[in-house]
Amino acid sequence: MKRGFYVGRFQPLHEGHEAVLREIATECDELVVGIGSADKSHSVDNPFTAGERHVMITRTLATLDVEAFVVPIVDVDRNALWTSHVKSLCPPFDVVYSNNPLVTRLFEEEGVEVRELPMFNRAEYEGTGIRERMLSDDPWEHLVPETTVEAIEDVDGVGRLQEVASDDAAEE
């Protein structure tokens, strides 16, 4: 039985993440998905709550043939302690999937096997670019699964992002 671990901020979950999840599901019997920076929300870099991201992830996992556990992981802001923090919160896992150099480095220093996956259309499937599109009212819906579109529309996610990005109302 092999259990894989994959962590992201999923702000929001996009087609690149879905492709990664689909790939890992073929390699592992079970999957642990960590919601990174779970304590962050309502900001330009982290607009969505852990609960809202949980919905995006769970609905995507439901389309895959894999047993999965979704675990919110709050920031500890101490990289040297982060892998212990993750392990303290998650079901035990055998292999980490990551394309993020810091995540890879931290787990490899602990002797954990890390597998890299190909980047899928990174030019478009990137959280930062998708949030920028939302901010400037450009189309973004085609870059995320339909379930993510629904989760974002349910909470007026674009309106929230635009509002938290704007300055305080000018005083007279």
Size of the site for ligand ATP (CB under 6 A): 19
Query: Should residue 119 be labelled a site residue for ligand ATP when binding is judged by CB under 6 A?
Result: yes
Letter for the amino acid at 50?
A
What DSSP letter does each residue of 108-143 carry, written as one string?
HHTT-EEE-----STTTS-HHHHHHHHHTT---GGG
DSSP, res 101: H
Comparing CB distances to ligand ATP, the nearer of 45 and 150 is 45
Instruction: Name residues contacting ligand ATP, limited to 17-46 (CB under 6 A).
Output: 17, 20
Comparing CB distances to ligand ATP, the nearer of 22 and 169 is 22
Comparing CB distances to ligand ATP, the nearer of 128 and 168 is 128
Pairing between strand 95-97 and 113-115?
parallel
Query: Nearest-CA neighbor of 95 among 86, 81, 107, 78?
Result: 107
Task: Work out which of 127, 140, 147, 148 binds ligand ATP, going by CB under 6 A.
Answer: 127
Query: Should residue 83 be labelled a site residue for ligand ATP when binding is judged by CB under 6 A?
Result: no
